[in-house]
Amino acid sequence: MIKVNIYRNSDFVISGFELSGHAGCGEEGEDIICSAVSILVINTINSIEKFTKVKFEVDADEEKGGYIKFEAPRFNLGETDHDAELLLEAMLLGLRNIEKEYSQYMKIYDKGGTV
């Protein structure tokens, strides 16, 4: 199962997220849920890097079972960026739609606080 933790600052702005696990919906390389989640997450990170000036940290490790962690530390200090916020909320919308259709393979935990 894919587990997604969404972290928010005191203004309820997404300040980071953490994913781990595999959906187990199909053979490796053919799992449409893992593919969809990976595309959403990686495209979001790449878009924040290309289209905003937000400084962020990413840790990814396939050995840890599809693990990826994203954190925008300045967001926890009250700084924000409208474009990055929009990209992160759009990613979450896509992940929620996947979770709605395939809840047996993915669970989202939307938390307040920091990463």
The model carries a pTM of: 0.91
- Tokens 């969404």, residue? 6
Instruction: Give the domain CATH number at 84.
Output: 3.30.70.1490
Q: What is the pLDDT along the chain (115 residues), one digit of tens a residue?
A: 999 999 999 899 999 999 999 888 877 667 899 999 999 999 999 999 999 999 999 999 877 668 999 999 999 888 889 999 999 999 999 999 999 999 999 999 997 655 4
**37 domain residue, yes or no:** yes
Residue 82 CB contacts under 8 Å (≥ 6 apart), including other chains: none
Residue 3 CB contacts under 8 Å (≥ 6 apart), including other chains: 19, 20, 21, 106, 107, 109
Structure tokens at 58: 């990413």
Q: What pLDDT is attached to residue 113?
A: 53
CA neighbor of 48 nearest in space, from 18, 70, 69? 70
**2 domain residue, yes or no:** no
Q: What pLDDT is attached to residue 63?
A: 74
Domain encompassing residue 82:
9-109
Residue 69 CB contacts under 8 Å (≥ 6 apart), including other chains: 16, 17, 18, 19, 57, 58, 59, 60, 115
**13 domain residue, yes or no:** yes
Q: What pLDDT is attached to residue 22?
A: 87
